Amino acid sequence: MKITSDQLAALQLQQKNAARNASGEGFAQALAQELQSDSITAGTAATPTGPVVRLDQALQAAMLTQPTEQTIMDKMSSLLSKWENYSQIIGAADGDLREGYNLLADIRQDIRDVKSDLARKPGLGQNLESMVEELDILATTEEFKFNRGDYLN
């Protein structure tokens, strides 16, 4: 019986697939063993049990969903930077209007995000809320100018 190159190529492909599966299973087994050893060590450590653990988990979940002052201020900083980039794009003689419009859409989304964060975290200050309202009005005005065709040459 003659061995053709097609048969040889099929055999090599089959061997490669078998090697991949074997190495993939080895990694999966090593990962499972590592996770089991971590859970055993974590289980033997002195940790409080019962409602205290559940309360701690609830607090962590609440902290992750609630915006902090720092995250809101980071978003505001990013928002103001985007406004600066937008003004440079629109103000340039050869500015790309598509890029400016896309940036304006990003700005609108960021404003919505900051507004929702401020709604979830009341009491951060009236000045910040009024600043976000002013930026929202400015974004609406710029969108109106785009739609009206003010920036066409």
Helix residue ranges per DSSP H, the chain: 5-44, 51-65, 69-91, 97-120, 126-148
Cα–Cα distance for residue pair 2/7, rounded to 1 Å:
10
Residue 149 Rama label (left phi>0; alpha psi -120 to 50; beta): left
Cα–Cα distance for residue pair 141/134, rounded to 1 Å:
11
Which of 17-26, 66-75, 113-122 is least confident? 17-26
Q: What is the pLDDT of residue 61?
A: 58
Q: What is the pTM of this model?
A: 0.55
- Rounded to an integer, the average pLDDT of 105-115 is 93
Share of the chain above pLDDT 70, in %: 67
Strands (E), the chain: none
For 44-85, the pLDDT digits (tens) are 544 555 555 566 666 565 555 566 788 888 889 999 999 999
Q: What's the first-to-final CA gap in the chain, in angstroms?
A: 77
